[in-house]
């Protein structure tokens, strides 16, 4: 691949265990993270903006990347939202996550970046493992992420990736380095708005699992105050 992968592609390659072919974080959290990474990439490309937790489309023209184009089209074009203030970043992340994971896994397999193995649980139920393909892109992504972390993520693109990785509690983001470094990376998940949308969904799931009484609904309403 001559061009750098998009942020959702990088997050997915970073999140998959290169030996077991399984996510290194909870699967549902990764889904949220991929949707958040889509928003981060679209913002970097000048396609969307955010205000008070809500997403606005700034440039509705399709980006060159076909998957980003799919997700940009799922956001209301300027002046066509039934919500005057755009759509909730948190709600969009929650609903778009499942689609994002499937689409990006399929695309990376089709391009040979990942290799899919189908196995059967108890010899009956099929499931997939996604392992690195030839070319070493997955290893390169992990090496670049580690180097960027050692430098404190000075580049905003790397910082966004680290923020979303921290929001989904990826070990390479939240368990590396000394206490100060880990604390700084965790803080990114609340400082960068796409990662904050992911973080809020993860927190909502945790509250539900702990009997906190938080609804599991998508929450298409306000994505503002925490």
The structure tokens 């997050």 sit at 11
101 and 108 in contact (C-beta within 8 Å)? no
The pLDDT tens digits of the residues spanning 144-172 come to 999 999 899 999 999 999 999 999 999 98
Bridge partners, 202 (sequence order): none
The pLDDT tens digits of the residues spanning 115-140 come to 999 877 766 778 789 999 998 999 99
Identify which of 28, 32, 26 has the alpha carbon closest to the alpha carbon of residue 8.
Answer: 32
Bridge partners, 120 (sequence order): 126
Q: List strand residue ranges (DSSP E) for 18-107, in order.
A: 48-51, 54-57, 87-88
pLDDT at 222 over 60: no
């Amino acid at each position: 691949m001559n061009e750098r992968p998009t942020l959702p592609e990088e997050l997915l390659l970073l999140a998959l265990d290169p030996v077991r072919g399984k996510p290194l974080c909870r699967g549902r959290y990764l889904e949220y993270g991929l949707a958040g990474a889509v928003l981060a990439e679209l913002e970097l490309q000048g396609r969307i903006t955010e205000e008070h937790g809500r997403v606005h489309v700034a440039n509705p023209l399709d980006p060159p990347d076909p998957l980003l184009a799919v997700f940009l089209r799922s956001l209301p074009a300027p002046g066509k939202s039934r919500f005057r203030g755009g759509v909730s970043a948190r709600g969009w992340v929650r609903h778009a996550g499942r689609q994002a994971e499937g689409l990006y896994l399929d695309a990376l397999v089709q391009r040979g970046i990942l290799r899919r193995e189908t196995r059967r649980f108890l010899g009956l139920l099929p499931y997939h493992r996604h392992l690195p393909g030839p070319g070493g892109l997955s290893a390169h992504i992990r090496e670049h992420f580690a180097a960027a972390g050692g430098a404190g993520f000075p580049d905003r693109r790397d910082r966004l990736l680290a923020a979303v990785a921290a929001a989904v509690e990826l070990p390479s983001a939240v368990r590396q380095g000394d206490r100060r470094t880990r604390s700084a990376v965790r803080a990114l998940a609340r400082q960068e708005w796409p990662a904050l949308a992911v973080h809020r969904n993860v927190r909502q799931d945790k509250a539900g699992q702990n009997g906190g009484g938080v609804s599991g609904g998508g929450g298409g309403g306000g994505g503002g105050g925490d």
